[in-house]
Amino acid sequence: MTGGTDILPSMKRKSVKPKYIVGVKKLTDMRYITYKKGDGLRIGATTTLREIIESEVIKDRYPIMIDACSRVASNQIRNVGTIGGNICLDNRCMYYNQDHIWWKSREDCFKRGGKQCYVVKRGKSCWALSMADTVPAFIALDARIKLINSSGEREIKLEDFYTGEGRSVNNIKEDEILMEIFIPEGNGISVFKKYAVRGAIDFAIVNTGVTMSMSDGKCKDIRIVVNGVSPSPERLKDTEEFLKDNNLSEDIKQILDSLDVEDTEALQKASEKIQKIIEIRHLSNHATPKHQ
């Protein structure tokens, strides 16, 4: 434990009852931000969200990370909460996250060791939702993480870290610790958006990280990641494939720039406009030419 901003409230609710807690706050070897041109960015797992927000190299080269970290909870929590803690954040559920007194009159759910889900009636698995704000931005940046134990270390893609099941959120082993996050060198457009009921100190209804590179006015590569909608972060691969190699020019950019993420009706209309533009261009690019 470093910041304790997730596990301590869970312990107060008696959702978790750890036998031991190991503090790693004083392990300075895990608290760093280093950048090497041509390689990428490395962040120690105990680096605080505040330190990421104030990093000049991240502001210059990975602004999506600043946007994502700035939307986590409140200033006080960002001052002590760490990037490793946010990546390993436990899933949330309006039932599971009730206190122990509330649970006295109910049978346990899957996440509490029971045999039922209160969210999906007659469901066969836990549907507690992944809520970490930083994760969609990091996955969109194709981040990798380093996990270590006494036997050695392993490095995996961050998007492969999550199980897709609400009970066991990630595949970290009992004797492992998250050591480092690596983000490769990248250029292009990056955007993070979060929609929540409250503007601050609230978990997202949905948050999104997008990175895109352009070539000759066309979408060369794109990664779209959403969180808050399922037990693990989700890449919208069908949408990515749909947008690749399409001619996304100024009219689409103007639509995107004018979006208000909290106006769901406007988002829907903008989505329809963009799809129509792409469909029209697709048809015009593949139309049979008339006689010259």
Render pLDDT for 100-133 as a digit per residue (tens, 0 to 9): 999 999 999 999 999 999 999 889 999 999 999 9
The whole-number average pLDDT for the span 181-190 is 90
Range in 81-85, 228-232, 240-244, 284-288 with the lowest mean pLDDT: 284-288
Over 50: is that where the pLDDT of 194 sits? yes
Provide the token pair at 165: 């099941």
Provide the token pair at 12: 């107060």
Per-residue confidence band for 273, with pLDDT thresholds at 50, 70 and 90: low
Distance of alpha carbon 192 from alpha carbon 45, whole angstroms: 21
Over 90: is that where the pLDDT of 254 sits? no
Please report the pLDDT score of residue 98 as a whole number: 95
Assign 108 to helix, strand or coil: coil
Distance of alpha carbon 229 from alpha carbon 240, whole angstroms: 18
13 CB-near residues (< 8 Å, 6+ apart): 97, 98, 99, 100
Provide the token pair at 9: 């409230």
Please report the pLDDT score of residue 104 as a whole number: 94
Looking at every residue in the chain, the average pLDDT score rounds to 87
Distance of alpha carbon 159 from alpha carbon 143, whole angstroms: 8
Please report the pLDDT score of residue 286 as a whole number: 41
Per-residue confidence band for 255, with pLDDT thresholds at 50, 70 and 90: low
Distance of alpha carbon 3 from alpha carbon 5, whole angstroms: 5
Per-residue confidence band for 257, with pLDDT thresholds at 50, 70 and 90: low
Please report the pLDDT score of residue 170 as a whole number: 97
Per-residue confidence band for 241, with pLDDT thresholds at 50, 70 and 90: confident
For tokens 């970490």, what's the residue?
132
- How far apart, in Å, are the Cα atoms of 44 and each of 62, 82, 128, 200, 222? 16, 9, 28, 26, 27
Distance of alpha carbon 35 from alpha carbon 253, whole angstroms: 30
Of residues 269 and 221, more confidently modeled: 221
* Per-residue pLDDT tens digits for 83-99: 999 999 999 999 999 99
66 CB-near residues (< 8 Å, 6+ apart): 52, 53, 58, 59
Among candidates 124, 172, 120, which has minimal Cα distance to 147?
Answer: 172
Taking residue 91's Cβ as centre, other Cβ atoms within 10 Å add up to 25
Per-residue confidence band for 25, with pLDDT thresholds at 50, 70 and 90: confident
For tokens 């869970």, what's the residue?
10
Of residues 251 and 134, more confidently modeled: 134
Assign 193 to helix, strand or coil: strand
Per-residue confidence band for 188, with pLDDT thresholds at 50, 70 and 90: confident
Assign 7 to helix, strand or coil: helix
Over 90: is that where the pLDDT of 39 sits? yes
* pTM recorded for the entire structure: 0.84
Per-residue confidence band for 143, with pLDDT thresholds at 50, 70 and 90: very high
* Per-residue pLDDT tens digits for 100-109: 999 999 999 9
Distance of alpha carbon 133 from alpha carbon 207, whole angstroms: 7
Please report the pLDDT score of residue 115 as a whole number: 94
